[in-house]
Amino acid sequence: MGQTIQSKEFRWMTKGLRTAFTIIMVMMIFVLTMLAIFMVGAMVVSEQQVNHLLAKGSVTAAVQLEGLEMKLADHVTRDIHYSKKDVMTFLFTATIYIAILLMIIVQVRNILSNLSKGIVFSLANSKKMERIAYCVIVLSLTVNAFRTYTGYLIMQQFQLESRFVETGLIKGISYHFTGIHWTLLLCGVVIWTFARIFRYGAFLQDEYDATA
């Protein structure tokens, strides 16, 4: 009786998590759709048109770095310069990152679907976990570059580099696009290890089924 209750609780838990990941998946698809729309808009609208609209309108902006938020002064936002090339590069890169995250979410959702059906140690689950591990490892090797490029883009759009140097408080600003996010890399290695364990478990399960 106790095992039956635990089995039901496990199935309900996996179904609930699957529903949650389905919602996240739909939200990410929506974000990808919006990014595609923005990319089309950025390709169609010229730099001159955007800069003209920015010059005529009133722009308020703030820069967020981790938990730090800096609200930019009006005379800084008035000097904003729209660069089509930089924005297109940012949107393209962001699309790739969201697509990788979407792939991770889809794989987790499929694993939860298999678990809710009682399929635990299987080759399919192992392959899905390996795909998640590879995606996480790719993110660990590139996330610092993406974050640095985001900061670079903000600095360029608002011409903040020269403004910071003019204050006399700093000598210069440099950007480092290389680096490894060690926490993500460790997570990727751990997930890959579990994937191999699941693959070995699937092998043992097949051996047991063959001899039973």
Indicate the pLDDT class of residue 212, thresholds 50, 70 and 90.
Answer: low
Question: Residue written as tokens 């994937």?
Answer: 195
Question: Who has greater pLDDT, 55 or 2?
Answer: 55
Give per-residue pLDDT as tens, 195-209: 998 888 877 777 766
pLDDT at 98 over 90: yes
The whole-number average pLDDT for the span 151-163 is 76
What H or E segment, with its residue span, contains residue 62? strand 62-65
Mean of pLDDT values over 52-57:
71
Distance CA 161, CA 202 (A): 56
Q: Is the pLDDT of residue 106 over 80?
A: yes
